[in-house]
Amino acid sequence: MPLPLIHYLYPSGLPKYLPQHEDGEPSWALVTGATDGIGRALCVELSARGFNVVLHGRNPSKLARVRDELQAQHPQRRFRTVTADAASFSQADIDRITGEIADVPLTVLINNVGGTGVLSSNFMHFKDTTPAEIDGVFKVNVLFALQLTRALLPQLQHQQAPTLVMTCGSQAHVGQPYIAAYSATKGALHAWTRALAAEQRALGGSQVDILEVVIGATYTQAFEGDSNFPTGSIHAHARCRGPRGARQGRPRTSLRVCVLLASRADVLPGPAADQRRGWSCGEDTETER
Ligand SMILES: NC(=O)c1ccc[n+]([C@@H]2O[C@H](COP(=O)([O-])OP(=O)(O)OC[C@H]3O[C@@H](n4cnc5c(N)ncnc54)[C@H](OP(=O)(O)O)[C@@H]3O)[C@@H](O)[C@H]2O)c1
């Protein structure tokens, strides 16, 4: 059996974050960048597993369309939308979003929004990156996640039940040439999630789990039209499985949390084709209290 398929044998850890509320209302999850790609697939998984979902995006009509599709698939679930452009947001946007969801029992925050969309090309020499592109790529990949998490941490802690902050990292955090600015953002996220996890552990009684999922190459809209990935309409399906219960100990790295399955990745060419053919498996840094 190919090693990545083993991930499907692990049970999901998500039920841990789905406590029964007295009023019968399921817990809510917030997914940033929920209108496409991995974020949208995460919304499908979360709603199938019993969560109500807040979808974040920048395009109100696309958000409404995705929300309506999810509502049709899961009529028993509830969905909300919040809007902000993560590449040009202000503190007022963060305050507005936290205000709009202050009334829901939020137990899962997924910092998914990101990518290289603000760059003129997915792959380029760093010297060709403009100052505005560097600002934008840090805003959408790092600053939005940090500011939103900072604002929502009190709400997560207030649940007095296990809650999860999951952040989508990238293998680029090791420092990948030709995507240097993007690599820097994912390196920053990597350090931040480890620091945040250590803080939560140091608090002792905190029930906030911090999880970074380091995603492997996954064919989403981010690569459509890119000459390095010359295929047509390939849809990526993401299935994320959360941590299976807390364990004492230091942060650890495992391979079991995230399985990313590209349905037609067999047509992808290139030297890394073996990694992309049929599946792509992300490493995750899972920090447990
Ligand atoms: N795909 C990969 O191979 C890969 C590998 C490693 C890590 N990752 C990470 O995984 C995450 C998701 O990637 P993906 O490939 O699923 O991306 P994607 O297909 O491009 O989807 C990105 C999502 O974020 C939204 N978004 C993009 N820029 C935004 C902005 N400025 N403001 C608000 N929303 C914005 C998009 O909205 P629209 O629908 O409006 O475009 C879409 O919903 C990213 O953090 C990325 O860095 C991906």
How confident is the model over 41-68, as a mean pLDDT?
97
Q: Which of 16-25, 184-193, 260-269 has the lowest mean pLDDT?
A: 260-269
Confidence band (pLDDT; 50, 70, 90) for 225? Answer: low
3-class DSSP assignment, residue 275: helix
Neighbours of 52 (CB within 10 A): 20
Beta bridge partners of 281: 259
pLDDT tens profile 1-26: 566 666 677 788 899 999 877 777 89
Q: Return the residue whose CA atom lies nearest to atom 2 of ligand 1.
A: 218
* Phi, psi torsion values for 210, nearest 5 degrees: -115, 125
Domains of the chain, by residue range, sit at: 14-223+252-263
Judge contact between 257 and 276, C-beta under 8 A.
Answer: no
Q: Which ligand 1 atom sits nearest the alpha carbon of residue 139?
A: 31
The secondary structure of 153-178 as a DSSP string is: HHHHHHT-S-EEEEEEEEGGGGT-TT
Confidence band (pLDDT; 50, 70, 90) for 232? Answer: very low
Q: Which residues have C-beta atoms less than 6 Å from ligand 1? A: 33-39, 57-59, 62, 85-87, 112-115, 117, 140, 168, 170, 215, 217-218, 220-222
Confidence band (pLDDT; 50, 70, 90) for 83? Answer: very high
Judge contact between 35 and 117, C-beta under 8 A.
Answer: no
**pLDDT at 152 > cutoff 60:** yes
- Nearest by Cα to 16 from 104, 78, 105, 108: 108
- Name 91's Cβ contacts closer than 8 Å, sequence gap at least 6: 147
Whole-number Å distance, alpha carbon 164 to ligand 1 midpoint, is 20
Q: Which ligand 1 atom sits nearest the alpha carbon of residue 39?
A: 16
Domain 14-223+252-263 falls under CATH 3.40.50.720: yes
pLDDT tens profile 124-147: 999 999 999 999 999 999 999 999
Positions marked catalytic: 182, 186
**pLDDT at 166 > cutoff 60:** yes
